[in-house]
Amino acid sequence: VRNGHEDRLLKILSEIEELSSRRKAAQQRVDDLESEWESSQVALRGDLRQLEENRTGVLRRRDEQKGRVAPRPLGLYEDLRPRKGGVAVSPIRAGACSSCRVALPGAVRSRTLDKDAVVQCPNCERILTPG
């Protein structure tokens, strides 16, 4: 009986050692992943800071350019931009609006050559520019 208990005890101790070793390996993996995560967070915060600085500069330049555009086209642009997924202006490519790909009549295409004209696509309503 004693020998059976000793064998069972040795088996349990062996299992404890195995589980302890696996727990240590798992803990090391968790520690490694936490370290990687912390490093990536530092990098991401730096990227975010850079993007915010870039955005601020772009918005400042955009505001400076607003003063150079007549109120009517600017108002139209500001109205269209949010409604058209941020894309209010579309160049003409191969005789068609590059946003909706609808072929444009010659009169519409030629009106875009007048720098004072604000011409909209008859289909998607975006402001057209000559390609």
What was the pLDDT predicted at 82? 97
Average pLDDT over residues 42-48: 97
- Give the model's pLDDT for residue 131: 83
Q: Is the pLDDT of residue 46 over 70?
A: yes
Residue 48: pLDDT over 90: yes
41 and 18 assigned to the same domain: yes
Looking at the predicted structure, is the pLDDT value of residue 2 above 80?
no
In percent, the amount of the chain with pLDDT more than 70 equals 99
Note the pLDDT of residue 55: 98
pLDDT of residue 1: 62
Question: Which amino acid appears at position 97 of this protein?
Answer: C
Q: Which residue range is the domain that position 37 belongs to?
A: 1-68
One domain, residues 82 and 44:
no
Same domain, 90 and 47: no
Kindly state whether residues 62 and 82 are assigned to the same domain. no
Are 53 and 79 found together in one domain?
no
Average pLDDT over residues 81-92: 97
Q: Are residues 24 and 78 in the same domain?
A: no
Q: 11-40, pLDDT tens digit by residue? A: 999 999 999 999 999 999 999 999 999 999
Q: Is there a single domain that holds both residue 10 and residue 23?
A: yes
Confidence of residue 78 (pLDDT cuts 50, 70, 90): very high
Q: How many domains does the chain have?
A: 2
Same domain, 59 and 97: no
53 and 98 share a domain? no
57 and 46 inside one domain: yes
Mean of the per-residue pLDDT values for the chain? 96
Distance of CA 73 to the CA centre of its chain: 28
Pick the last residue of a domain from 53, 68, 83. 68
